[in-house]
A = this chain, B = another copy of it.
């Protein structure tokens, strides 16, 4: 999917919501446990219920991998089921030496190898340029590079300063040499205005994938106000607050309600801040 096509979807739906399909086999409503593939059945119903209110789906690969080859089958069925209108993100946080990152890129971008085809994959920056560039060799595919994450440990290394600049800012700056805003996004878990403003001086045009509304507790208005650019420039992710909104037979309806509430709020912020 191109930058323009993604913005077109956002404009049409008045939504920049990404739904995290972090489907934990241990948390699936009991009535699904008898189906042939409970994880896929759960995802299918979530997708049917929420597709009108989001522009992106993001399965976190850990949740599938933890069930071994069976989990990979559920993942494959899920990615095939998601409508082509939606931007798909493999939240895999991969990264290895050049030729090996090339294999990870095949995993998520080349269905003739793995059976999977996503639009984007999240990549960890620690190993540097040659661990990221192989993902960019696939046409129209995206890298979403970890910059500033929102977890407690993000301070350990990402906020160390080299030459007066945080390591996560070095990541933003150095990676500009690898691809432009049409092929790269960044995971930015910032919640403070000052941080977003600094980040936007380095990468004014890029999309940011922002975790942390809902269960992780970010403030959607704040991050929209300070993070948005003239092409929206944000994909805001919610996972547990949507997919586990209910735990009974009506779980998909409950998920739909949560997704719709977020979309309605996003419509307001697009109108106010997307300029």
Interface residues in chain A, defined as those with a beta carbon under 8 Å from any beta carbon in chain B = 22, 24, 60, 62-63, 65-73, 76, 93-98, 100-101, 103-104, 106-107, 110, 113-116, 124-132, 146, 149-158, 160-163, 167, 170-171, 174
Contacts and interface: CB of A to CB of B under 8 A. Distances in A.
A146 B127 contact: yes
A21 to B, nearest CB: 13
B72 A114 contact: no
Given A100-B22, A124-B93, A107 B65 contact: yes
Contacts of A150: 97
Tell me how many chains of this kind the complex includes: 2
Contacts of A146: 126-127
Contact of A128 (B110, B114, B156, B171): B156
B107 A66 contact: yes
Contacts of A113: 66-68
Contacts of A174: 156-157
Contacts of A171: 157
A93 B156 CA distance: 18
B131 A153 contact: yes
Given A66-B110, A69-B73, A157-B167, 20 more contacts: A62-B96, A65-B104, A67-B113, A68-B76, A68-B114, A69-B115, A98-B151, A98-B152, A124-B124, A125-B156, A126-B158, A127-B146, A128-B156, A130-B152, A131-B151, A132-B153, A157-B171, A160-B167, A161-B162, A167-B167
Contacts of A93: 94-96, 124, 127
Contacts of A24: 103
12 contacts: A62-B101, A63-B103, A65-B104, A66-B104, A66-B106, A93-B95, A125-B157, A126-B158, A128-B152, A128-B158, A156-B174, A157-B170
A129 B151 CA distance: 9
B62 A104 contact: yes
A158 to B, nearest CB: 7
Could you say which of A63, A128, A130 has the most chain B C-beta atoms within 10 Å of its C-beta? A128
A162 B238 CA distance: 34
A110 to B, nearest CB: 8
B167 A152 contact: no
Given A60-B96, A72-B72, A128 B153 contact: yes
